Every structure is written in C-alpha cells, then in structure tokens.
Structure 1
C-alpha cells in the first residue's frame, strides 16, 4: 500500500472544511486518551467567516488521499501580524506556519509537509514553523511528552510517532512549551505563605474576582494586560479588537468569577489569572455530542462543576513590574486564592498550569516554588524553505 501514490488535494468550501475536521476527528479516536471535542467549535476555528483570526491571516487546507481514501491532513497559513514581529521572537518576515497535522504513515506525513511548504513558498515565505493550529493562541505545538494521560481543556493531543515523522522531514525544534501539574490539596511551603501573607497586609494591593456583570469590560482589561505583559515573549502575536470580542463571547460560558482574578495596585489593574474548569471531563461522557441530551449535561456541569480539575492557561503581569518581587508576590496571591476557592467550592484536587515557555525563568520558578511538576511538553518545529 505504501507504494501507491499519495495525492494532495486543496480543501475548498464548507463541505471541504467539514471533511477536513471530520478527518481529524477520525484520527483522534485512535488515541486512547483522546477527548472528543465539540464538532461545531472545531468547524468554527477553520471557517474564515466565523473566526476573526482570518482577518489577519491567509491559509490553505490540504487533504492527502490514497486510492481516493483520505489518509492525512494539514494546514498552511500566514499570520500577517506575526510577519511584523522581530525574528528573535520566533516569527518575523518570511515566517509561515503549518498546523492541523495528521497522517497515516511517514510517506503521507512528508507529502503533506511538502505541500504546505510549497504553498508557503508560493506566498513568499522562507521559513515554516509548526504545528500551530492555527492561531498561536489556539493549539500551538506538538505533544512530545504526556501522551499517557488525558489532555485538559483547550490542549492538543498527538501520538508519539508524529514527532519522528516531522523531524525526519528536516525540522528542528525551535521552542518547547511546558505544562505543570499541581496537587492543590496541600499548602504552600512556609516561604511562599509568608510572601502571600505580606501581600494580603499591603493596602496598595487588591486581588478581586472578575465582574461577570461587566464581562466585556473585564475581558478588555485582561487582554490589554496580556498584550502588554507578553509583548516580549517568543511567539507573541497581539490580540486584535475582533479577537478580543470573540474571546469574550466564547469564554463566558466557562468563566466562574471566583476563580478568575484581576490584581490591582493602587486601584490600577496590573495582573490577572484565568482558570478554567476542565470541561473535557464532561465532553468525554457525552462523546463530544450536544444532541440529543449532551447539551443538558454540559450546561448543568458548567453551572457548577464538581470534583473538577482546573487549568490555568493564562496569567500576566504588566511589563513595568517584570523582574520585581511584586510580580511573583501577585502570582502567588492569585494562585493561593484560586486554590482555596477551587478546593472548597468545586472539589478540585489537581490543577494544570501552562503553557509556559521553556525559557520563561520567572514562571518556571513560580511553578517550582509551589511544588508543581512538568507533565507535558509541546514542541514547535522550524525548517528553512530556502534551498
């Protein structure tokens, strides 16, 4: 079968996008720790009419076939905002990307990667980075460690052999993203407790829950801090106003005010921490299907998650406070407050923090200080497109 020619088709239109998404879902079912996601949300992510990412991105989807049978898929895309960034921050001029990578075998994998590379060259790109599916804020990186346990909310999950197939196509690792697992049933070490208690006595500091009655305003505050805090990070691409509005709409159903916090200094918002209950727990039970009764179970769980693991996907402290004692103090205060609420109100026993860039020494130090351990690694690969 391996000798049969692999044909790469460009995906066009609504039906093509549906086939592309369903093919990815069929590959995912082969993995024992795969958690079925909502098909409607996966379709939205690749629909230029519904995902504001495409307001600053060009893309092409591909499906590989043997004897007419789909055997793999890939996206090639260019984020025009990323092209304006300095090269030392990961992207910059000439940086194209690939994502949504699935393949039946190594020959299919290489054919798909070559198709994506050819399209990127046609658009004038000289480097390919990936997998990034599709915005850097969606599912960046290939899972290279942690296939032995279920992914949490908004985390990609990939089989081990994909790493070999990408590397054998000439790709080298450009960046590693880490996630940390934390047992939240225990207390902080004595030093961290003293740091938190000192912050709680500081009248200049206020740590408050987000106000869901002013949700759009709170989202704007959070993402304004994020755009400032992360602006020097590798791979950072700022959120646009349309993306901020879309993020607010999509996140609102999973937001519980008491575990999503904004820290203020002298009344000015300077830091935030978002925490999401791991909706994958209920998605597995309803097999990713809203109908006929999945919507009822999902909505009931979202209103009051019980025995829910938590994921902290994003936090940020304004740049003016970076490398200061106050920055880590605010982080410890927010983590402590979220831990206390989550364990009492939601029965939480474990949480996951990440992604964290492998060279983000500040965040890695915070994760180490509270006793968390690395449980997943994601790799972003890079290859020159210049012969």
Structure 2
C-alpha cells in the first residue's frame, strides 16, 4: 500500500464535496444497470449546512489516490443519536460507521477502511458498522444480491466484489436487509381480500389518503408514527424535527395522495404506508439531468408517473398494536388500496417493498401473504476496533 495515499477532505469545502461526489459518480457509472442520479441531490447529502444529519453527527470524508489519481473514497461518521440506542438494537455506545465506500481494488479498499477505522478509534469508538451512507435512513447496507437489475428510488447499487474487499479486512455480516418485489397488476390472494373486507366493515377503522392541502401535518403524523413503530427495531435511530421537515420537503414532489395512506382507529392515526413512484425510471431517460431538456420531461413525469414502478420504503403501525390481528389487517387494507390505485390510475405493474430486516417476522409474513419474493439483499458489516 506504499503507493496509496488517503487524503482527508473537508465537507464544509465546496471543492472537496464536489471531488468526493464526482468520484462516486465515476464509480457508479461503471456498475451494471447503473441509473444516474441528480448531482445536486448527491452534493446536498454531504453538505453540512443542507443535510440535518450533520446536526447530530461527526463526519469525515476521505479520497484515496494512487500515483496522484483518485482510486477510491469512504466516509467515517459518528451519529451521536445512535450512541444512545441500546446495544441490543445494533447501535449503542462506541459504535462508529463507514459509508460511501468505493474502491478500484482490494488494496485500495484496505487503505480506505484502515483510515476510517483509525479516525473512528481516535474519537473513542470501539466498533464500526457499514456501509451506511450516512444516516441509517438514507442508504444502509451493501448490495450482495440483485445486481442483475436496476435499483429503485433511494437504493444503492454496488459491484459484487465489494463484499470480498470488506470481509478481507476482518468484517463480518451483522444484519441483512431484503427488498421484496411483486406484480401489482394482479389482485391479491383471496385470504387478503377477506381480511380487507372484514376491516372495511369495522366502524372503528378508517383508511384515508394523505391530504396534500395539509401536507406538513400529514408528514409529521407519518414520521411520528414511524418513530414509535420502529423504536424497537434493529438499527433504529429517531428522526429529529429538522430531519422530519427536511424529509417532507424532499419527498413532496413525489407524493401522490392515491399512493399514500394513513389508517385511523377511533379517529386516531395509528398506521401509515408511504409509496413513491420510482424516479429512476425518469432518470434513466434524462441521465439524471434537468437541463437542457430534462426539466420538461421531469415536470410531466412528476405530475403523472404513468407506468412507473412503485416502492414502499416505509410503513408502520403504532407499537401498542404490534403482534395483534389488527396490525396486519390495517397493513393489508393500506396495501390493497394503494395497489389498486397504482395499477389503475398509474398503470403500474411492478412494486417493491423494503428494506425489511431479515428477522422482522411480521413484515416478512405480510410480504409472503401477498405473494412477493426477495429480489435484492443488502448486508451491513461490523468489526471490533
């Protein structure tokens, strides 16, 4: 590794941010089924003043050079909210992370991981998890199965050899996250239809569309339920008020009332399902660019993403209802209504649910019942420092 130099970058410096992001874009373009993303959005994710993750995290960016040429990148970060999570939930005291991992070869990977570990250890961390780029709510895990098709919105696409690079440096798999795909042009099995009809007859239950006229209120309801519903999950880190506001603003152009539901029990919001049209369908045609001609196609697509794939990145039921028949009934009711809207109004055929933790038996049971199947697997690795 004598000819490899790992340079520290300053995320607050615009030139350093651009170098870090542009190097990642160069690597992404070499991956099969690559879909170009909007550069401005990628810059914002590593901008301390624009990504509220930085308000509760320490972040260091690195680029590796060989012979003066960039050959890899990595981030090391400490999420101070994650440090407060009980260790049995995957995070906890002493847990640092790495993310935005790209490397030309195993030697570069070794140098990058060593540098990230050195930085984390100097700050008192005793354990490292990754890749997590950078918040657990953004792009967690390394794709280890499913490189044979393009990723959906907000999902990573990684070369198969990265897994070998990471494990060669002493890392072991800690948690698997799966996505499930299904044909949403078909009706759900009779069992699901019976469960849904039973719920529709229950006067205590109301499943409604998200109301765009009260968008901020709806986003706050959804993310408040999310923080409660997921609070015992592996890897959970609560979203802050700033992150809630930021997330709501970012998702607004993609939110169609017909594709998103809030379920109420006796008038109280107790469950939600968020569905996003796969903007990668659009980016594949525009090259991830708005100019010179992409803006018009983008506006048309956002208004009605006809035929787009649909991804359910988030859903949740209040914790007090977990392990009850009502929880699964509410889930099936929301899924059924959204499926009908996606297939009908938007003429969609393909849906995807995830990520789902490998041991989340409740969500796995729902995915199995609607005849979906695992199509992508992501791994989060860990190592003691």
1:32 CA displacement = 2.0
Match of 2:4 in 1: 6
Q: For 1:154-169, what aligned pairs fall within 5 Å after superposition?
A: 154-169=154-169
Match of 2:219 in 1: 219
Distance in 2 separating the partners of 1:187 and 1:306: 19
Distance in 1 separating the partners of 2:32 and 2:112: 25
Distance in 2 separating the partners of 1:290 and 1:189: 41
Match of 2:127 in 1: 127
Match of 2:331 in 1: 331
Q: For 1:165-244, what aligned pairs fall within 5 Å after superposition?
A: 165-244=165-244
Q: Say whether the 8 Å CA contact 1:4–1:67 is kept in structure 2.
A: no
Give the alignment's TM-score, normalised by structure 1: 0.98
1:188 CA displacement = 1.6
Distance in 2 separating the partners of 1:95 and 1:159: 26
Unmatched segments (≥5 aa) in structure 2: none
Distance in 1 separating the partners of 2:86 and 2:2: 43
Distance in 1 separating the partners of 2:364 and 2:267: 28
Q: For 1:43-122, what aligned pairs fall within 5 Å after superposition?
A: 43-122=43-122
Deviations 1:2-59 (A, max 9, x none): x761000001211011000000000001012110000000000000010001000001
Distance in 1 separating the partners of 2:199 and 2:144: 38
Match of 1:366 in 2: 366
Distance in 2 separating the partners of 1:15 and 1:8: 17
Distance in 2 separating the partners of 1:190 and 1:32: 38
Deviations 1:170-195 (A, max 9, x none): 00001000000011122222111111
CA-based RMSD: 0.7
Matched, 1:40 2:40: yes
1:128 CA displacement = 0.5
Q: Say whether the 8 Å CA contact 1:220–1:244 is kept in structure 2.
A: yes
1:296 CA displacement = 1.5
Unmatched segments (≥5 aa) in structure 1: none
Match of 1:345 in 2: 345
Q: Say whether the 8 Å CA contact 1:53–1:135 is kept in structure 2.
A: yes
Give the alignment's TM-score, normalised by structure 2: 0.99
Deviates more, 1:358-367 or 1:298-307: 298-307
Q: Say whether the 8 Å CA contact 1:4–1:66 is kept in structure 2.
A: no
